[in-house]
């Protein structure tokens, strides 16, 4: 088992999601002591505080995956200048009941790709606000705002040549961040 296990939260449920492709590609730039597992968020119930005392199995599963990870990687699209409701729902579900926030203390990275020119900048800023409240140390620099364009991925689904060095640099910083902050 790798020394550092990272839970990857993709904010899109779309089958051909650019963000899922980005998540699949960027993890190949990490060293062998890191392993990455995408967590499922599409089957979670809509958060309802009445359920706090009896959380759904899917919520318990997500919380266990978060708690057993040494770090979290958020890969999210931008929806209407914020994060998708699906992602916020997952975050809310795993943050409760009060005092049992599964995200607390987990080092995080935030990246995203969109078809718009600002490449998820607004969504990421909103997400950072949420992660700060959840007490997650979140890598501040470098930032990754990617616009989906031809050549972003090669035929094998790897990061294309033009973006590879940029994303490798981000991954190197993320790896160091997780090592520094992992419990």
Report 9-38 residues binding ligand FMN (CB under 6 A): 12, 14, 17-19
In the chain, % helix, strand, coil (3-state, to 5) comes to 40, 15, 40
Q: Which is nearer to ligand FMN, 103 or 145 (CB)?
A: 145
Of positions 81, 129, 135, 162, contacts ligand FMN by CB under 6 A: 81
47 DSSP 8-state letter? P
Q: How far is the CB of 139 from ligand FMN (least distance, A)?
A: 21
Contact between 78 and ligand FMN by CB under 6 A: the answer reads yes
The one segment of 78-86, 128-136, 151-159, 161-169 that binds ligand FMN by CB under 6 A: 78-86
Q: Does 79 bind ligand FMN (CB under 6 A)?
A: yes
Of 136, 158, 160, give the one whose Cα is nearest residue 150.
160
Binding characters for ligand FMN, 108-147, by CB under 6 A (x = yes): ------xxx-------------------------------
Residue 81 token pair: 């200048």
Instruction: Answer whether 58's CB lies under 8 Å from 89's CB.
Output: no
Q: Is 160 left (phi over 0), alpha (psi -120 to 50) or beta?
A: beta
Q: Which of 61, 73, 63 is nearest to 37 (CA)?
A: 73
Tell me, by CB under 6 A, how many residues bind ligand FMN. Answer: 13
Residues that bind ligand FMN (CB under 6 A): 12, 14, 17-19, 77-81, 114-116
């Amino acid at each position: 088992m790798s020394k550092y296990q990272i839970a990857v939260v993709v904010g899109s449920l779309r089958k051909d999601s650019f963000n899922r492709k980005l998540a699949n590609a960027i993890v190949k730039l990490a060293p062998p002591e890191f392993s990455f597992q995408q967590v499922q968020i599409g089957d979670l119930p809509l958060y309802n505080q009445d359920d706090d005392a009896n959380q759904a199995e899917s919520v318990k599963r997500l919380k266990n995956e978060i708690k057993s990870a040494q770090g979290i990687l958020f890969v999210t699209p931008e929806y209407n200048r914020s994060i998708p409701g699906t992602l916020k729902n997952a975050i809310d579900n795993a943050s409760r009941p009060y005092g049992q926030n599964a995200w607390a203390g987990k080092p995080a990275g935030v990246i995203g790709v969109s078809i718009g020119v600002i490449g998820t900048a607004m969504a990421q800023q909103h997400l950072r606000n949420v992660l700060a409240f959840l007490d997650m140390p979140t890598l501040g620099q470098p930032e990754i705002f990617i616009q989906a364009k031809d050549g972003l991925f090669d035929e094998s689904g790897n990061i294309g040549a033009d973006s590879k060095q940029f994303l490798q640099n981000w991954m190197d910083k993320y790896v160091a961040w997780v090592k520094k902050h992992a419990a």
